[in-house]
Amino acid sequence: MPGSFFDTNVLLYLASGDDAKAERAEQLLASGGTISVQVLNEIANVASRKMRFSWERTHRLLAQIRLLLPAIVPMTLETHVVGLRLAERYNLSIYDGMIGASALGANCDTLWSEDMHDGLVMDRRLTVLNPFRAV
């Protein structure tokens, strides 16, 4: 059954001071979804460097996310190849291409992302939606 895939930026609002966006992210997460190891890595990077979380707090945030979204897909060579193709075809950053490839590989039909092209349909089966468009 198709489902939701979450981009890093949506999950980071769980630890932000933006209550409206955090609440929207929590609503979406209540229905479950999938992430990739890349998403976990990006969260660790942003939390520790940009948000200046201690390593202890960063680990707690990652653990919470892994509990909320236990469906975590690995990065593989196939993900890399498909991600490059998506980046080229849809004019995405390499990292966004890898997120798209992971979502497609997990058979998701919705990719929740604030910074990709809202409404973009990749490979006729994955739609990018901005969960905060109306917030």
4-129: which CATH number, 3.40.50.2020, 3.40.50.1010, 1.10.10.10, 3.40.50.1700?
3.40.50.1010
Domain limits of the chain? 4-129
Q: Would the pLDDT of 1 be above 60?
A: no
| Helix then strand then coil, % of the chain, to nearest 5 | 55, 15, 35
- pTM for the complete prediction? 0.93
The predicted-structure confidence for 80-114, as pLDDT tens digits, reads as follows: 999 999 999 999 999 999 999 999 999 999 999 99
